[in-house]
Amino acid sequence: MPDNNLKTIREIINEVSFKLDHADLYYGHGTDNAFDEAVYLVLATLDLPFDIDEPGLNEIVSADTYQDIHERVQRRINDRVPVAYLVNKAWFCGNSFYVDERVLIPRSPIAELIEDGFS
């Protein structure tokens, strides 16, 4: 993966998704599948919103940034580090939180109840 060859964001997301999908990983820290995890990792690394428009996905990624993404993917696969720790951001009930290895990643099976005010 370190050889960028000027790939687009879309191409990198697909590449990362393929790698994660074949790495026998656990999902449950904000995503539940390899593709969503790839989107999370790539867009957070690029500091882009998750609702990026279609033309935005065709932007070219610099070699340095591509290397950063590659290093995070390697840590996710080899060390099993959750993406939230790699990008220092987790989402819970529509709010983003700074997270690192010192905290538990916010998540809950009752998140929908919390968002709805327990109604």
pLDDT in tens, 24-38: 998 887 788 999 999
Q: Look at residue 1 and tell me if it is in a domain.
A: no
pLDDT in tens, 38-53: 999 999 999 999 999 9
Find the distance separating the first CA and the last CA of the chain, reported in whole Å.
47
Q: Look at residue 2 and tell me if it is in a domain.
A: no
Q: Look at residue 75 and tell me if it is in a domain.
A: yes
Domain that residue 25 falls in = 9-115
Q: Look at residue 3 and tell me if it is in a domain.
A: no
Task: Give the pLDDT mean for 88-95.
Answer: 84
pLDDT at 84: 93
Whole-number Å distance between alpha carbons of 5 and 58: 14
pLDDT at 40: 96
pLDDT at 115: 67
CATH assignment of the domain containing 78: 1.10.8.10
Q: Look at residue 4 and tell me if it is in a domain.
A: no
Under 8 Å CB-to-CB from 16, ≥6 apart: which residues? Answer: 38, 41, 42, 69, 73
pLDDT of 1 higher than 80: no
Number of domains in the chain: 1
What are the backbone angles phi and psi of residue 7, rounded to the nearest 5°? -90, 155
pLDDT at 111: 64
Q: Look at residue 73 and tell me if it is in a domain.
A: yes
pLDDT at 74: 98
pLDDT at 57: 98
pLDDT of 118 higher than 70: no
Q: Are 99 and 85 in contact (CB under 8 A)?
A: yes
Q: Look at residue 30 and tell me if it is in a domain.
A: yes
